[in-house]
Amino acid sequence: MTKRPRIVAVAVAAGWTLALPAFAQTTWDMATPYPDAEFHTQNVRLFVEDVAEATDGELQITVHSGQSLFKHPEIKRSVQNQLVPIGEVLMANLFNEDPIFGADNIPFVATDYDSAEALWETQRPMVEERLADDGIILLYTVPWPGQGFYTNDEIASVEDLNNASFRTYNATTSRMAELLGAVPTTVEAVEIPQAFSTGVVEAMVTSAATGVRTKAWDFTNHFYDLYAWLPKNMVIVNERAFQALPEDQQTAILEAAAAAEERGWQMSQEVSASTVEELGQNMTVHEADDALRTELEAIGQTMAAEWAEQTGEDGQRILDSIN
Ligand code: PCA
């Protein structure tokens, strides 16, 4: 008789234990290349907050920003090999795997948000297909603001960059530097200030956003607001890791990703305007004059022709989508 209530108590406790797995928490790590101060990273943090909220905290994603988990060149492969389930990379950095990834990195092909969007619409299924071959799902993509040059001295023509040690961030930007007659050195965004302070580079290509984040006025004097191209970051997930999640969590990720893509394109445009203004308060901002622009556009045409040759019909379809 005295034992009865005890058995009931045990049964209740067992019931609780059995119910636990339904509330179990999954924690994912996420590898990103850029520091917290960049709007891309801020957008990533909003994305993971949305996922946590939509899953009632059952799926928590811990963001490791600024290459703190994996170096930028290792992030895609780490996602592919499931060393980390989710990550962010600059899409064009995968150019060496397939030049289609580099469509948004060719100078003077897509130079505003509308043409960047048109380019992306055509490029997207091609990128998704190539990532799928590697067991990766594309979640969302957000462009950087337009790319320009930072220099110490004023430049009147491409000749003024002859032999300059020029900071680039991937194969395509290095090819451009070569065509400029400069000497390319690839430096990750997190290492820019150090590369200048140690004299490794004396000029660079990047956006106004990254210029402000690195306080480019501490080590250069002139910004050429060329808006030459808008390279995109992409957030990718390992397909098996994704499929292993309960369906409602998969839906939560996809919905948060769609929201992050829309928010990110807007953030990019806002940051573009505000950072050019901030640069203007701290250094000289130039629109390239016609002579310089003509020279640079010729380099863009050379690169577009090289790229079209490498990418064949797919590449031509992307180029045609902008004109
Ligand atoms: N910032 C990143 C990529 C493009 C940009 O605007 C960088 O400079 O590395």
- Residue 216, ligand 1, Cβ within 6 A: no
Q: 39 CB under 6 A from ligand 1?
A: no
Going by alpha carbons, the residue nearest to atom 4 of ligand 1 is: 206
pLDDT, position 3: 44
Q: Hey, is 112 helix, strand or coil?
A: coil
Which atom of ligand 1 has the smallest separation from the CA of 207?
A: 6
- Would the CB of 171 count as within 6 Å of ligand 1? no
Instruction: Enumerate helices (H) and strands (E) in the chain, giving the number of each.
Output: 10, 11
Give the position, in ligand 1's atom list, of the atom nearest the Cα of 210: 1
Name the nearest CA neighbour of 68 among 34, 28, 91.
34
Percent helix, strand, coil in the chain, to 5, is 55, 15, 25
Best of 75, 169, 185, 268 to mutate for ligand 1, by most ligand atoms within 8 A of CB?
A: 169
Q: What is the pLDDT of residues 7-32, one digit of tens each?
A: 444 444 444 444 455 567 999 999 99
Question: For ligand 1, what atom is nearest to the CA of residue 209?
Answer: 6
Tokens of 231: 């390279």
Q: How far is the CA of 10 from the centre of ligand 1 (A)?
A: 59
CA 63 to CA 35: how far, in whole Å?
A: 11
**Locus of tokens 């001295």:** 153
Domains in the chain: ranges and CATH:
9-92+113-143+232-276 (3.40.190.170), 147-229+284-320 (3.40.190.170)
What residue's CA is closest to ligand 1, atom 7? Answer: 189
Task: Indicate if ligand 1 lies below 6 Å from the C-beta of 119.
Answer: no
Q: What is the pLDDT of residue 10?
A: 45
Chain position carrying tokens 């893509």 = 261
Q: How far apart are CA 191 and CA 127, in angstroms?
A: 28
- CA 207 to ligand 1 centroid distance, Å: 6
Q: Quick check: pTM over 0.85?
A: yes
Tokens of 17: 């234990």
Q: Which residues, other chains included, contact 126 with Cβ-Cβ below 8 Å and sequence gap of 6+?
A: 100, 314, 318
105 lines ligand 1 (CB under 6 A): no
Give the Cα separation of 313 and 108 in Å (integer). Answer: 20
pLDDT above 90 coverage of the chain, percent: 92
Distance separating alpha carbons of residues 198 and 180, to the nearest angstrom: 23
Structure confidence at residue 13 (pLDDT)? 46
Q: What is the pLDDT of residues 27-46, one digit of tens each?
A: 999 999 999 999 999 999 99
**C-beta of 168 in contact with ligand 1 (< 6 A):** no
Q: How far is the CA of 236 from the centre of ligand 1 (A)?
A: 18
Q: How close is the Cα of 17 to the center of ligand 1, in Å?
A: 49
Find the mean pLDDT for residues 225-244: 98
C-alpha triplet 31, 75, 204: angle, nearest 5°: 95
* CB contact burial 68-96 (16+ within 10 A = b; e otherwise): ebbebbbbbebbbeebbbbbbbbbbbbbe
Q: Which two tokens stand for residue 73?
A: 């060149």
**What pLDDT, on a 0 to 100 scale, did the predictor assign at position 48?**
98
Q: Which residue's CA is minimally distant from atom 3 of ligand 1?
A: 206
Is the C-beta atom of 89 inside 6 A of ligand 1? no
Distance 144 CA to ligand 1 centre (A): 7
Spatial separation of the C-alpha atoms in residues 56 and 10, rounded to whole Å: 28
Give the integer Cα–Cα distance in Å for 320 and 323.
5
Residue-wise pLDDT tens digits, 151-205: 999 999 999 999 999 999 999 999 999 999 999 999 999 999 999 999 999 999 9
Q: What pLDDT, on the 0 to 100 scale, is given for residue 145?
A: 98
Task: List the 147-151 sheet strands across, edge first.
Answer: 183-186, 165-168, 203-207, 147-151, 222-224, 284-286
Closest to 170 in 3D by CA, of 110, 242, 55, 91 = 91
Taking the CA of residue 205 as reference, the ligand 1 atom at the shortest distance is 8
Q: What is the pLDDT of the chain when averaged over all its residues? A: 94
Q: Which atom of ligand 1 is nearest to the CA of 233?
A: 3
Distance 189 CA to ligand 1 centre (A): 6
Helix (H, G, I), strand (E, B) or coil at 143: strand
The tens digit of pLDDT for each residue in 241-295 reads 999 999 999 999 999 999 999 999 999 999 999 999 999 999 999 998 899 999 9
